[in-house]
């Protein structure tokens, strides 16, 4: 799980390094990822043929994945990596509401309160980072979509192996994006469609390491942990990404003092929630006599 999160920490940086629009970026990311999965399948034979109904269901979840990517990279290109990744801290809040609905669990209101506090931190950043409002809104939408497909994936990986799930999800997402691409080109006729050498390199890294490898091992992790635990751990992804953004792009120079107050609120809520989860887990463990 943490290997996948570490790899995902690079996605924001690569999203900024790639100069293509988010639509073109995601389309190439998908096609390269699907090709890499097929190549791996030649050796492992892990991708299984599924009934049409299940294939369509999994492909539908893939559409949510693609919408998450589009809003994620859209947020980066409308504000910056650091703020976008801070917005992802709201994933745990959305998951705390969704998981009880989809998995028929009781809502833990402490988890909801922690999530609301993280949202308050994001709102503080929204207030002080003038001109980044649209990017922040896209970042929150991206977090909502990420929580949604993680919760849905938790139900899917119970019945199917991760390699098949990733392949059918991303293939379904690619078909969806390809079908609506003409609409995008109608409004964005000046978009660059052919990557140059540097963009090809960055997209390849993004596709092979941060998508094919990361998605597969994350879905394997989901077979052993809850979606909420997975998304809670995903709070490490922004930390990796922010450190990289500060080091590579010097984004800290464009941030207001209020940003650090909002970010501190988010980090504290993540820490408090981790402690709360640890205490809850200890209470539910039956002593061995």
**pLDDT tens column, 52-71:** 999 999 999 999 999 999 99
| Whether the predicted pLDDT of 40 surpasses 70 | yes
pLDDT per position as a tens digit, 170-208: 999 999 999 999 999 998 888 899 999 999 999 999 999
Asked whether residue 45 is assigned to any structural domain, the reply reads yes
Mean pLDDT of 114-123: 82
Asked whether residue 73 is assigned to any structural domain, the reply reads yes
Distances (CA, A) of 25 to 15, 16, 139, 177, 180: 8, 11, 17, 11, 15
The confidence score (pLDDT) of residue 194 equals 94
The confidence score (pLDDT) of residue 234 equals 64
Q: Which two tokens stand for residue 76?
A: 């980066």
Percent of the chain with pLDDT over 70: 90
Asked whether residue 288 is assigned to any structural domain, the reply reads no
Asked whether residue 195 is assigned to any structural domain, the reply reads yes
Mean pLDDT score of the chain: 84
Per the structure, the count of domains in the chain is 1
The confidence score (pLDDT) of residue 59 equals 94
Percent of the chain with pLDDT over 90: 33
Is there a contact between 164 and 48 (Cβ–Cβ < 8 Å)? yes
Asked whether residue 289 is assigned to any structural domain, the reply reads no
The confidence score (pLDDT) of residue 226 equals 66
- The crossing angle, in degrees rounded to 10, of helices 133-156 and 52-78 is 160
Give the residue numbers spanning the domain of 179.
Answer: 2-283
For Cα atoms 145, 19, 130, give the angle at the middle one, nearest 5 degrees. 65
d(CA 206, CA 251): 21
Asked whether residue 20 is assigned to any structural domain, the reply reads yes
| Whether the predicted pLDDT of 288 surpasses 70 | no
For Cα atoms 23, 212, 95, give the angle at the middle one, nearest 5 degrees. 75
The confidence score (pLDDT) of residue 278 equals 66
User: CB under 8 Å to 24, separation ≥6 — which residues?
Assistant: 191, 192, 193, 195
For the chain, report the end-to-end CA distance as a whole number of angstroms. Answer: 32
pLDDT per position as a tens digit, 120-131: 888 888 887 767
The confidence score (pLDDT) of residue 287 equals 39
The confidence score (pLDDT) of residue 286 equals 38
Considering only residues 228 and 49, tell me which one the structure prediction assigns the higher pLDDT: 49
pLDDT per position as a tens digit, 217-254: 877 777 776 656 665 666 667 777 888 888 888 877 77
Q: SS3 of 285, please?
A: coil
């Amino acid at each position: 799980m943490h290997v996948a999160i570490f790899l995902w920490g690079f996605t924001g940086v690569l999203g900024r390094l790639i100069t293509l629009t988010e639509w073109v970026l995601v389309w190439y990311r998908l096609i390269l990822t699907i090709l890499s999965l097929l190549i791996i399948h030649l050796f492992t034979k892990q991708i299984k043929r599924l009934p049409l109904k299940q294939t369509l269901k999994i492909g539908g979840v893939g559409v949510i994945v693609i919408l998450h990517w589009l809003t994620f990279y859209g947020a980066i290109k409308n504000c910056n990596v650091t703020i976008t990744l801070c917005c992802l801290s709201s994933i745990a809040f959305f998951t705390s509401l969704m998981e009880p609905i989809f998995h028929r669990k009781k809502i833990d209101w402490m988890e909801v309160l922690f999530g609301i506090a993280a949202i308050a931190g994001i709102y503080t950043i929204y207030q002080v980072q003038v001109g980044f409002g649209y990017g922040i809104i896209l970042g929150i939408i991206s977090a909502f979509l990420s929580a949604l497909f993680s919760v849905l994936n938790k139900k899917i990986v119970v019945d199917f192996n991760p390699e098949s799930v990733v392949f059918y999800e991303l293939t379904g997402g690619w078909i969806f994006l390809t079908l609506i691409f003409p609409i995008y080109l109608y409004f964005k006729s000046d978009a660059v469609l052919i990557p140059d050498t540097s963009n090809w390199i960055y997209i390849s890294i993004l596709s092979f390491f941060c998508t094919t490898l990361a998605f597969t091992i994350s879905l394997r992790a989901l077979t052993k942990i809850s979606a909420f635990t997975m998304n809670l751990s995903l709070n490490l992804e922004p930390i990796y990404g922010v450190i990289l953004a500060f080091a590579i792009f010097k984004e800290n120079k464009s941030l207001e003092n209020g940003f650090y107050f909002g970010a501190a609120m988010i980090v504290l809520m993540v820490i408090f929630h981790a402690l709360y989860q640890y205490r809850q887990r200890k209470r539910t463990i039956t002593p061995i006599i």
